[in-house]
Structure 1
Amino acid sequence: MIIQSELVDLNTATGTMRTYIYRPQAQGQYPCIIFYSEIFQQTAPIARTAAILAGHGFVVLVPEVFHELNPIGTVLGYDDAGKDKGNNDKWAKPLEHHDSDTQALVEFAKNQSYCTGKVGAMGVCIGGHLAYRAGLNPNVLSMCCLYATDIHSNTLPCQPGNDSFSRTKDIHGELMMIWGKQDPHVPDEGRMNIHLNLINSGNIFTWHEFNAQHAFMRDEGDRYDPALALRVYGMAVELFNRTL
């Protein structure tokens, strides 16, 4: 499908959040995917992923995940300075603020004439974590979580007992968990702890591990696996077509 893009500045409980919108040009109503970025916010690879999803018949919302901590429109570089700033932002923003961001995005989607009102979530890296956590919102029906960081380690700030690992039993909808087995950020033991927690919590989920590194979907850098990325895009589209 031919797509169009625009942006909107949403009011959230913690300030203005710029959100980029990718959606089909054709008239009609489409389900929505909230697409949470890496720590670098909306880089060119993130924008291209959003466009791919939108071209399959979805409204894709890409929020600036650290809008409280940066000027509107901030994009961090894939370099040491960008990584350091992004990680500092990650450790500074409480998970509760991400929850209120998700609620603002859900409300926006439900009020758009071009949306069906059905909402899913997808994300990469910390965005994978945020997509996982988006399942705490009963309006989010399915979540595709790609190499989600900091779930197993509980290293993101939050109120006691409100970390995403502990709240797994409260997640609604279907999860698709996608991992690279050569990912140093989520080692074998961490992945297995998440897997066992999902089983014990009774969640509906599928689990996929590939011989790939962290950020294998990002089409910049030497960790990119184009063939695997194409396969995973297909898996994500199938999930959202079926659940949304």
Structure 2
Amino acid sequence: MTITQSSVDLSTATGTMRCGIFRPERAGAYPTVIFYSEIFQITAPIARTAAFLAGHGYVVVVPEVFHELNPIGTVLAYDDEGKDKGNDDKFTKPLSDHDTDTEAIVSWLDEQDFCNGVLGSWGVCLGGHLALRAALHARVSAAACYYATDVHSCTMPAGNLPQTIDRLREINGEVMMLFGRQDPHVPVEGRQLIYQKFTDNEVNFTWHELNAPHAFMRDEGDRYDPELAMLAQRLVLDLFHRALR
């Protein structure tokens, strides 16, 4: 279906946060997915991925994940300077502040006529971690976490709350984890740790590992694998069609 795109500036506990809104043009109330970006914020590949999901019948909200640390509207480039700035931001902002961002989004969505109250999360790279973090929220029924960084290593500051891997028992919905086997950010030992923690905490989850590098879905740059990206998109649609409808 055709979609409409807009933005909204939300008040959060740590300042104003701009979110991209992608949703079906046809009137109605739809399930909603919070889509968390990489460290580069709302780049063109992130916007195209959000539009893809919206066209399958979802409201997609894409927050600027480092809104406190950059001017509103900042998009970091896929180069060394952008990577360095994004990583600095990642290790500066505590997970507890990402939690209050998610709460602000959920509160806003509850006031929108185009949302039916059913919520999911999806994310890539840093966003994969934040999508898993969002699954701790009681309202999130399904989370798709793609090559999620720093879950196994607990290297992001957590603020006044425990690390994500220590809170898995709080998850009530279904989680899908997807990794590339050639991803240096989440080596095999890290993937094994996450899998074991999920099993020990009785999380309702599915697990996928593909022969792919980090960020293989990003349709810019040398790592892009169109065939595997299509497979990953099909998996996320299968999850949300089943768990959010």
| Shorter-chain TM band | over 0.9
The runs of 5 or more residues in structure 2 that have no matched partner are: none
**SS of the counterpart of 1:92?**
coil
Is the 8 Å Cα contact of residues 184 and 214 (structure 1) preserved in structure 2?
yes
Give the % identical residues.
59
Q: Given residue 125 of structure 1, which amino acid in structure 2 is its aligned partner?
A: C
Distance in 2 of aligned mates of 1:8 and 1:192: 39
Give CA-to-partner distance per residue, 1:174-224, whole Å, 9 cap, x none: 000000000000000000000000000000000000000000000001111
Distance in 2 of aligned mates of 1:159 and 1:6: 32
Distance in 2 of aligned mates of 1:159 and 1:70: 20
Give CA-to-partner distance per residue, 1:35-79, whole Å, 9 cap, x none: 000000000000000000000000000000000000000000000
Alignment of 1:59-78 (within 5 A): 59-78=59-78
Cα shift at 1:241: 1.1
TM (normalized to structure 2)? 0.98
Distance in 2 of aligned mates of 1:178 and 1:56: 21
Shift in alpha-carbon separation, 1:18–1:159, aligned structure 2, 3 A:
closer
Shift in alpha-carbon separation, 1:160–1:111, aligned structure 2, 3 A:
closer
Residue number in structure 2 paired with 1:133: 133
Distance in 1 of aligned mates of 2:182 and 2:63: 28
Is the 8 Å Cα contact of residues 96 and 160 (structure 2) preserved in structure 1?
no
Alignment of 1:204-243 (within 5 A): 204-243=204-243
Distance in 1 of aligned mates of 2:224 and 2:154: 27
Is the 8 Å Cα contact of residues 215 and 223 (structure 1) preserved in structure 2?
yes
Is the 8 Å Cα contact of residues 110 and 118 (structure 1) preserved in structure 2?
no
Give CA-to-partner distance per residue, 1:4-35, whole Å, 9 cap, x none: 00000001111000000000000111100000
Residue number in structure 2 paired with 1:165: 165
Residue number in structure 1 paired with 2:37: 37
Please say which of residues 72-81 and 153-162 is displaced more in the overlay. 153-162
Shift in alpha-carbon separation, 1:190–1:160, aligned structure 2, 3 A:
farther
Residue number in structure 2 paired with 1:6: 6
TM (normalized to structure 1)? 0.99
Distance in 2 of aligned mates of 1:160 and 1:199: 26
Distance in 1 of aligned mates of 2:153 and 2:160: 14
**Runs of 4+ in structure 1 displaced over 6 angstroms?**
none
Is the 8 Å Cα contact of residues 109 and 119 (structure 1) preserved in structure 2?
no
Distance in 2 of aligned mates of 1:203 and 1:165: 11
Please say which of residues 145-154 and 105-114 is displaced more in the overlay. 105-114
Distance in 2 of aligned mates of 1:4 and 1:145: 25
Cα shift at 1:159: 3.8
The runs of 5 or more residues in structure 1 that have no matched partner are: none
Aligned-residue CA RMSD in angstroms? 0.8
Is the 8 Å Cα contact of residues 35 and 60 (structure 1) preserved in structure 2?
yes
Is the 8 Å Cα contact of residues 141 and 172 (structure 1) preserved in structure 2?
yes
Cα shift at 1:161: 6.0
Is the 8 Å Cα contact of residues 11 and 17 (structure 2) preserved in structure 1?
yes
